[in-house]
Amino acid sequence: MARRLFIAGNWKMNLGPAQAAGLALELKAALASNTALDVAVAPVAVSIPAVVAKLKHSGLHVAGQDLHAEASGAFTGAVPGEHLREAGCTYVIVGHSERRQLFGDDDALVAKKVKAAFRAGLLPILCVGETLSQRQAGQLEAVLDQQLSVAMGGLAADQAAAVTLAYEPVWAIGTGHNATPEQAQEAHAYIRGWLRGHFPAFVADQLRIQYGGSVKASNAGALLTQPDVDGALVGGASLKAADFLGIIEAGLAARRASRS
């Protein structure tokens, strides 16, 4: 089944409102005639309104980088999904490895955040992936099983199908060492098999699985033509329009070539 390509840029803790608005305008101009794929950018929370304003009527989506599990309350410094939605986000990244490693987001909290995203009317981009030591210990499948079963186990099938999964091997994030296309395909195929075993068939058919970890224009084509790789979650290379657009162009060109 053909799944529409979905490329998202995670700007992490970079680009305040003015710079973020500038990058958003560059992307909007370059992608004005885009109908071939879905694109989202995830600015730092305070930059979201400026980016939403610039991307109005562009078809490009804005995502939060994280959300609190609750809708409101005494949680100083936190941002609930409801506010992201009100500000104009359609997606929210959940369970990024930086959240898991640096902020203590464990599987149980990630599961709550996935539910909170749906409660707020946001679509989660749920990140999963193994560390280098887990991979070397042969635990890739066990890690994916654990992360998927806790985060997705309680979802109704129609919600599960609306999740975007991002397979992000932790050892590939920000390191310049991307997974090979074969390693990515192997993990994505395993994830799709897991979905087949836990939900009705349409979930595995529809759900998009992005690859994330040192994606750049030079490796995007080979990664994005793997049968179970439906897009990319891009960190460092999403911070400059030319780099991010290069990934999009390389991915689209390689897909066109592989189908002709």
Catalytic residues: 96, 168
Q: Which of 65, 183, 185, 214 binds ligand PEP (CB under 6 A)?
A: 214
For ligand PEP, the closer CB: 116 or 128 = 128
Q: Does 9 bind ligand PEP (CB under 6 A)?
A: no
Task: Write down the least CB distance from residue 182 to ligand PEP, Å.
Answer: 18
Cross-strand pairs, 193: none
Residue 20 vs 204, nearer CB to ligand PEP: 20
Provide DSSP, 201-241. Answer: HHHHHH-EEEEESS--HHHHHHHHTSTT--EEEESGGGSSH
126 scored as a contact of ligand PEP (CB under 6 A): no
Q: Is 213 in the site for ligand PEP (CB under 6 A)?
A: yes
Is the distance from CB of 21 to CB of 44 less than 8 angstroms?
A: no
Q: Please report, for the chain, how many H helices and E strands are present, in that order.
A: 12, 8
Closest approach of ligand PEP to the CB of residue 240, in Å: 12
Contact 94/66 with Cβ under 8 angstroms? yes
Q: Residue 50 is encoded by which pair of tokens?
A: 């400026």
**Shortest CB 57 distance to ligand PEP, Å:** 27
* Residues at the site binding ligand PEP, with contacts judged by CB under 6 A: 10, 168, 173-174, 212-215, 233-237
